[in-house]
Amino acid sequence: MTELTLTLKLPFYRLNQSKAVEFERLTVVNTSVANDLLRVEKVERYKLTSAAFRHVEIGSMWINQTIRNANAKTKVKHFKRMWLEVNNQGYEVLKSGELYAISFSLYRGRKGRIPLAIHQASHPLVLDKIISREAKLGSLKICKSKKGIWYALVAVSMQVADAAPVKDWIGVDRGQNNIAVAALPKGFGRFWKGGRVKRLRWQFQRTRSSLQAAKQLKEVQRLEQRERRIMTHINHIISKQLVQFACDYGCGLRFEDLSGCRQTMKQKKKTKSNAAKNRDTWSFYQLETMTRYKAIRAGVPVESVPAPYTSKSDHRNGVIGKRNGDWFKGFDGYRCNADWNASQNIGQWLGFSCPLDLQKAVSAMGIVDVEGEVNDSPLTSEASRTVALAQS
C-alpha cells in the first residue's frame, strides 16, 4: 500500500453575504494576531499559547494553529494575510442528503459546530472515504480566491493500492516545441504542442517590460502570479491526460531524469533574455510531480530513466544519430520526429539492442558541433559496425 496525500479545494455552497463578511473580518483579526507575535522575542514567542490571546474572539484551536504557522515563518517581518486554519480536531466532514458539509466553530467559548455546505467538485469518492474513516483528515484552511470565492482547503491522506506490474511503458519526453510527447511502445505518440505557451510567455514578458518602465511594480507582480496560475493549469490538464493515456493502454509512464538540468543546459545570453525560449522559465519538474501523484491515485506505475542522449539515439538500435531541430536522422538515413524518437527511447530504455552504454558514452563523446549535434565517437562507430554486421 502507498500513502497518498491530497489537498481538496472545496468552494462553499451558496455562502450568504453575512458569513462571507464574517470570514473576512475574522481573517483580519487572525492576521493581526500573527503580526503581534512578530513583535515578541523569538525565545518567548515559542512559549506562547492561546491563553495569551484570551481577548481575541477566535477559538483557541484556531489561535494555536496561527501561532504555529507564524513561528514557522522565521524570516517574515510582516504578514499581509494569515488565513484561518485548524487541525483535524477542530472540524468534521458530514453528508446530508446529496450535499456534503464541513462543520466547525470559529468563536471562543462556543462548543456547537455549525455545518456549512460545500461543493463536492470532483472529489465525492474522497469525501465518502473521509466519512467512512478510510481516509485521514489533516488541517482545514479557509481562504478566498482572487474572484472573491471562499474555499475550504482540506488536507487528506489515505492508503491506495500499489501500482500493478506492467509489461509495456510509455515514454514521456518534455520540451519547448512540444510540452510533452508520449509514445506507445513501437507505436504512435500523442503530442501536446508548446506554441500557445510560447506566445503567452512572450506576451507576458512584453507587458511586464512596459509596466516596469512605467514603475507599475504591483501590476507586474499581479501579472507574474497570473502567468504562474495559467501555466499550472496547463500542466494540470496535460498530467491528467497523460495518466488517462496510460490507463487506456495499460502501460506505465517513464520520464527522463532532469535533476540538475538547469546547471548543465547551456544557453546563449540572447536566448535567456527571451521568456519564450529560455528553458529556465519552463516548469518541467512541476509537470512530472503532478503526473506522479495522479498516477499513484490511478494505480499507474511511474519510473525515471537517465536523460543523456535520449534525443540523439536511434530508438531502433540505440546508435547515436543527428538531431536537427524537429527531426532526427539515423546513421542509415532513417528520419523521424525528434521528440517522438526521444519518447520511444525513454519508454524502451532497458530494451536497447545495441551494446552501446549511453551513460559511459556521455564522457566519451569527443566531437560536438556548434549546434550541439554529435557527429561521431568511437563507441558510435563500434556500435554501427555491430549493427551493420548483424544486418548482413
What global pTM score does this model have? 0.75
What 8-state DSSP symbol labels residue 311?
Answer: S
Q: How far apart are CA 313 and CA 355, in angstroms?
A: 13
Neighbours of 195 (CB within 10 A): 12
Q: Looking up cell 500557445, which residue turns up? A: 196
pLDDT tens-digit readout, 98-115? 889 999 999 988 878 889
Neighbours of 311 (CB within 10 A): 19
Q: How far apart are CA 108 and CA 63, in angstroms?
A: 10
pLDDT tens-digit readout, 8-39? 999 999 899 999 999 999 999 999 999 999 99
Q: Which residues contact 354 (CB under 8 A, 6 or more apart)?
A: 317, 318, 319, 383, 386, 387
Q: Looking up cell 509495456, which residue turns up? A: 168
Q: What is the pLDDT of residue 81?
A: 94
Q: What is the pLDDT of residue 380?
A: 37
Would the pLDDT of 63 be above 80? yes
Q: How far apart are CA 287 and CA 264, in angstroms?
A: 20
DSSP 83-103: -EEE-GGGEEEEEETTEEEEE
Residues in the chain: 392
pLDDT tens-digit readout, 310-351? 888 888 887 888 888 888 888 888 889 888 988 988 888 764
Give the DSSP H/E element, type plus range, for residue 219. Answer: helix 217-249
Distances (CA, A) of 55 to 22, 60, 119, 178: 18, 11, 34, 57
> Are the C-beta atoms of 179 and 197 separated by less than 8 Å?
yes
pLDDT tens-digit readout, 186-236? 778 899 998 888 899 889 889 999 999 999 999 999 999 999 999 999 999
Would the pLDDT of 153 be above 90? yes
Q: How far apart are CA 386 and CA 188, in angstroms?
A: 28
Nearest partner of 355 among 334, 380, 376, judged by Cα = 380
Q: Which residues contact 154 (CB under 8 A, 6 or more apart)?
A: 7, 8, 10, 93, 102, 137, 138, 140
Would the pLDDT of 382 be above 50? no
Nearest partner of 139 among 68, 38, 80, judged by Cα = 68
Give the chain's mean pLDDT. Answer: 84
Q: What is the mean pLDDT of residues 371-378?
A: 36
Least confident segment among 43-57, 131-145, 225-239, 280-294: 280-294
Q: Which of 298 and 266 is assigned the larger pLDDT?
A: 298
Q: What is the pLDDT of residue 389?
A: 40
Q: What is the pLDDT of residue 152?
A: 94
Domains of the chain with CATH codes:
2-160 (no CATH), 169-195+234-266+283-391 (3.30.420)
Half-sphere exposure (Cβ direction) of 95: Cα atoms closer than 13 Å = 12
C-alpha cell at 266: 547551456
Would the pLDDT of 273 be above 80? no
φ and ψ of 391, to 5 deg: -70, -30
Q: Which of 282 and 2 is assigned the larger pLDDT?
A: 2
